[in-house]
Chain A
Amino acid sequence: ETGVTQTPRHLVMGMTNKKSLKCEQHLGHNAMYWYKQSAKKPLELMFVYSLEERVENNSVPSRFSPECPNSSHLFLHLHTLQPEDSALYLCASSQETSGSGTGELFFGEGSRLTVL
């Protein structure tokens, strides 16, 4: 138990569906992250939120839409995805903000997404 909970653990969706991934952290951290983990590729940073403001968006297609309503919750809204978007989506949190961080991340167990 890392203190970061992701739901659902598994999701299968068609290319025309709209779904959301949810992440909740119980660690009192200030920053939250979405990473994408595909087979045979490094983990790709998608989004970073610090104190509920998006501070990084790594050229992610607009079919992925993040939302951070408070420092404990992070969502990834999905719509009109492509089969190549199938991957493990990992949420993480950390204590630091404002670029002063040491980068120690606490990860959830991930949401395995399959796009048909």
Chain B
Amino acid sequence: AQSVTQPDIHITVSEGASLELRCNYSYGATPYLFWYVQSPGQGLQLLLKYFSGDTLVQGIKGFEAEFKRSQSSFNLRKPSVHWSDAAEYFCAVVYSGYALNFGKGTSLLVTP
């Protein structure tokens, strides 16, 4: 079954530093991949998605992600992190044409 793995449970970065959150997927065909963000007490908000085409996708809030088929990865990046980016980040892959299978999430802490 399609699945995603987020190897890092917690990540701490300084404000203004660059960020990369890792995501590896397991899927036989070209996957539909997503990154969602969840702020405390909130639901999940879509940051960006990859279906096909350009492997570098741009999202909201200055985030981008790169699909690398050879590495089965879809890592999320941001060149300069803001304190408001502190949240839980989830990578996900389409499952059964309907719903998403989510990774366990990576909790981002931003220090001054």
Interface set of A (CB-CB < 8 Å, partner B): 2, 4, 6, 31, 33, 40-43, 45, 48, 50, 55-56, 90, 92, 94, 96, 98-110
Enumerate 18 A-B pairs (CB-CB under 8 Å) in ascending A order: A42-B102, A42-B103, A43-B90, A43-B100, A45-B95, A45-B100, A45-B101, A55-B98, A56-B98, A99-B98, A101-B97, A102-B49, A103-B94, A104-B49, A105-B44, A105-B99, A107-B36, A107-B44
**In the docked arrangement, what's the CA distance between A104 and B92, Å?**
10
Check if B32 sits within 8 Å of A2, measured CB to CB. Answer: no
A-side contacts of B34, CB under 8 Å: 103-104
**Cα distance A100–B101 in the bound complex, in angstroms:** 16
Grouping DSSP codes into helix (H, G, I), strand (E, B) and loop, the A interface class, with mixed when no group exceeds half, is loop
* Complex: chain B residue closest to A46, CB-CB: B99
Nearest 7 pairs between A and B by C-beta? A99-B97, A103-B94, A107-B43, A43-B102, A107-B44, A109-B43, A42-B104
Nearest B-chain residue to A31, judged by Cβ: B98
* Secondary structure call for the B interface: strand
B43 touches A4 (CB 8 A): yes
Give min CB distance, A87 to chain B, whole Å.
14
- Beyond A2-B45, A90-B44, A108-B43, whether A103 also contacts B99 by CB under 8 A is yes
Residues of B within 8 A of A107 (CB): 36, 43-45
Which listed residue (B41, B49, B93, B102) contacts A109, Cβ 8 A? B41
Q: How far is the CA of A108 from the CA of B45 in the complex (A)?
A: 9
How many Cβ-Cβ contacts under 8 Å join chain A to chain B?
Answer: 75
List the B side residues contacting A4 at CB < 8 Å: 43
Chain A residue contacts of B56, Cβ below 8 A: none
Question: Does B71 sit within 8 A of A, measured CB to CB?
Answer: no
Closest CB in chain A relative to B99 CB, distance in Å: 5
- Closest approach, in angstroms, between the C-beta of B50 and any C-beta of chain A? 10
Q: A9 to B98: give the CA distance in the assembly, Å.
A: 26
> Which one of A45, A102, A110 lies within 8 Å of B51 (CB-CB)?
A102
Closest residue on chain A to residue B105 by CB atoms: A42
Per-position contact with A for B4-42: 1 when CB-CB < 8 Å, else 0? Answer: 000000000000000000000000000010101000011
- How near does chain B come to A109, taking the closest CB pair, in angstroms? 4
